[in-house]
Amino acid sequence: MRPIVRLTALCAALLVLSAMAQAQQVPDAVQNALERQAEQAQERAAERAKERAAERAQEQAQELTQQRVQEQTSEQVVERAVERAQEQAADRAQQQASERTQEQAIGRVQSQTVDRVQGQARAAQNQALDRVQGGQAERVQEQLLERSAQQLERTQQQLERTQQQLERSQQQMERTREQLDNAAGQATGPGRGRGNGVANGPDLPTAAQQAISQLPGQARGRIPGPSPMAQLPERLPVIGDDGDEMFVEIAIEPNIRVLEREWVMLLSEAQREQLIDEAPDLMPYLAQTRTLDALESYLLRFRVPPDLDANDQILDLVPEPLRELIDRNHVYSAQSGAALDNSGGNSGDSPEAGQGAPERNRLTVPMSAVCEDPVAVGVIDSMINTEHPAFARAAGAPPAFVSRQFLQEQVDGVSGHGTAVAGVLVGDGSAYGYDLAPLLPNATVYSASVVYSQDAYHQGATVMHLLEALSWMLEQEQLRVINMSLTGPANRLLEQAIRAVQAQGKLVVAAAGNEGPHADLLYPAAYDGVVTATAVANDHSVYRWAAQGDHVDFAALGVSVPTARGSGDFGRESGTSIAAPVVSAFLACELVSAAQTTGQAREALAARATDLGSSGHDPIYGHGLLHPL
């Protein structure tokens, strides 16, 4: 048993020794693995350190490079600036030297030229004397004849201007006769007659007629106080109902009046923003801004100090792209004429002057209706006396008027001119024994009141109010014809607005004007696309004071025409402003009856018009006469 025990113990000892050997080998392997991992970690750390060092070195190099570049750039900039400054200084010095040299050269040339001219003049004088003395007086005589012809031409031009002044003086005298005639009629009885509809009163006293006929044309500017013969003063304050000065009219040229120190602009939203940004010196003078939705524009009114109230000075404050969009606040005149018989009063420029028409062809009143459709016509004029008995309508009939006031409440508005124009369109005096029948018995008149009183005999309207009225007219979709019996100078904003009206399929009908056949162009009648109306008497002779020109489109009855008056009674009126609503009535009916474009309607009326004067279109009658059958 003992050997076995010993053997077992020996085996156990061997096992223990083997286990211990194995246990010793395991830590060595672990230690070796750890050492290898440590070496690898050190290697990776060293590589990362190298990479970081390289990156830092590269960054430092880039920073140094940028610093050098910046330093070089700054040096170059400084050098270039110095070079440019030197070049500019040299250029200025050279330019100044050149200017001084030029001035000196010009002075020398001028001095030499003066000496040469004086020498040539003396030589020419001597030669002329030699030629005369030598028997060559013929050339001198030709020169004298040439100078005489030039003097004669200048004299003829002066005579033409004098003739125009005389025509205007005669027109004013006729208006005076009308006023005296009406005053005499009112003094002897009521201004209402029967049969032909209007009582003009008795003849003027012989002494009064002689006094008027002997009045020289130049005297009208010296007549004191309100008078149809007197010119408006060069500076006219317009006083409101409260006694305060509302604005001041001034005359800047003959027959051109404006509101003192007032300028207007018609701008889109983008243009208005541009003006605000680029015209800081102008914007402090902005007095008023209106939004004209139908024109898609802003209407700006400026009131500038006296030293800027001139075209060149104001344009200096406006950006160049917007300079065509500013103009003065011009004043336009209501076109009133003398209510006198036109017989023998033809201007003399017509080929039928003085002949008249046979009795059977004379134009009769009352005029019949052009159409009975419920058309709409716009009238931009003075207020209309809508309570006048001529405008009364039966219950259930369409309204005769839709009115809007564009004047300030304090301004003295007048109703005579607009009432007369509306009376031709829709007035009916048959129930009161007057020869007045409506051209458009079922029409609605859209009345825009823009005319104010300048004195007892003159009325005006500013372009700002005309623009507001045109924008309102565009808002009336059913309205396609706009009557404007006003005239004045060309205005960029008015032309711009009228183009916008035409672009929306509406027509503007304007009176040709009553300044005489030799008058300058009057607006809006002379703008492209505007239908221009002139006036004739019942014998087809042209109204003696009607303006003429290639822009005249149609003629209509406009002399001694029965119509309504702002005072509530009836009377006769003359002028192109009375002919204009006749043409407006024809166009309104033509547009509604055939649903035509405005161009087609004009062509149709040109084909229907009765040709007068020269064959075809002419500057006196246009395409011819429009008169309801």
Q: Give the pLDDT confidence score for residue 57 in this predicted structure.
A: 73
The mean pLDDT of 436-449, rounded to a whole number, is 97
- Distance from the Cα of residue 548 to its chain's centroid: 22
The rounded distance, in Å, linking the Cα atoms of 168 and 515 is 7
The more confidently predicted of residues 376 and 137 is 376
Q: CA torsion 232→235→240→243, rounded to 10°? A: -110
Residue-level pLDDT at 176: 64
Structure tokens at 256: 């051109």
Q: Which H or E run includes 302?
A: strand 297-303
Span 469-489, pLDDT tens digits: 999 999 999 999 999 999 999
The pLDDT of residue 508 is above 90: yes
Q: Which of 29-38, 123-132, 140-149 has the lowest mean pLDDT?
A: 123-132
**How large is the average pLDDT for residues 186-201?**
36
436 CB contacts (<8 Å, ≥6 apart)?
197, 365, 366, 390, 423, 427, 428, 429, 430, 562, 563, 564, 570
Question: Which has the higher per-residue pLDDT, 126 or 159?
Answer: 159
Residue 509 contacts residue 484 (beta carbons within 8 Å): yes
CB-based contact 438:428 (threshold 8 Å): yes
C-alpha dist (Å) from residue 52 to 56, 236, 247 = 6, 91, 84
Rounded CA separation 263/88 (Å):
42
Query: What's the whole-number mean pLDDT along residues 83-98?
Result: 67
Q: In this structure, are residues 518 and 542 in contact, taking their beta carbons and an 8 Å threshold?
A: no
User: At CA 612, angle to CA 611 and CA 615, rounded to 5?
Assistant: 70
- Topology, domain 235-330: Alpha-Beta Plaits (3.30.70)
For the stretch 579-592, pLDDT in tens is: 999 999 999 999 99
Beta bridge partners of 507: 481
Q: How far apart are alpha carbons 469 and 408 in whole angstroms?
A: 14
pLDDT, one tens digit per residue, over 541-551 is: 999 999 999 99
Please report, rounded to a whole number, the percentage of residues in the chain having pLDDT higher than 70.
Answer: 64
**H-helix or E-strand containing 163?**
helix 137-188
* pLDDT interval class at 34 (50, 70, 90): low
Higher pLDDT, 11 or 590: 590
316-362 pLDDT, tens digit per residue, is: 999 999 999 999 999 999 866 544 333 333 433 333 333 455 555 78
pLDDT at position 346: 40
Burial code (b: 16+ CB inside 10 Å, e: under 16) for 25-47 equals eeeeeeeeeeeeeeeeeeeeeee
CA dihedral sign of residues 194, 195, 199, 205: negative
Asked whether the beta carbons of 337 and 575 are under 8 A apart, the reply is yes
Integer CA distances (angstroms), 152 to 139, 149, 161, in order: 20, 5, 14
Contact 587/481 with Cβ under 8 angstroms?
Answer: yes
Separation CA 376–CA 586 (nearest Å) = 12
Mean pLDDT of 561-581: 96
CA distance 49 to 54: 8
DSSP string, 459-489: EEEEHHHHHHHHHHHHT-TT--EEEE-EEB-
CATH 3.40.50.200 describes domain 331-608: yes
Q: What is the pLDDT of residue 435?
A: 94
Residue 484: beta bridge partners? 380, 510
Q: Which carries the bigger pLDDT value, residue 168 or residue 550? A: 550
Residue 37 pLDDT grade (very low, low, confident, very high; cuts 50, 70, 90): confident
Report the interhelical angle of 598-608 vs 576-594 (nearest 10°): 110
Q: What values do phi and psi take at 593, rounded to 5? A: -75, -35
Full 3-state SS string of 563-577: EECCCCCEEEECCHH
Amino acid at 290: R
Does residue 404 register a pLDDT over 70?
A: yes
Q: What radius of gyration do the chain's Cα atoms show?
A: 46
Q: What are the residue boundaries of the structural domains of the chain, listed by start? A: 235-330, 331-608
Q: Contact at 8 Å (CB) between 569 and 548?
A: no
Q: State the chain's maximal CA–CA distance in angstroms.
A: 191
> Which residues does residue 253 pair with via DSSP β-bridges, in sequence order?
256
What is the dihedral sign for C-alpha 502, 507, 511, 512?
positive
Residue 12's Cβ-count burial label (10 Å; 0-12, 13-18, 19+) is exposed
Residue 175 has pLDDT above 90, yes or no: no
- 237: β partners: 248
Specify the long-range contacts of residues 352-360, CB closer than 8 Å, at least 24 apart: 352/540, 352/541, 352/612, 352/613, 353/541, 354/541, 355/541, 356/539, 356/540, 356/541, 357/538, 357/539, 357/540
Provide the percentage of residues in the chain whose pLDDT is more than 90: 52
**Does 20 or 192 have the greater pLDDT score?**
20
Quote the mean pLDDT of the chain.
79
Whether the pLDDT of residue 406 is over 60: the answer is yes
For residue 223, is pLDDT > 50? no
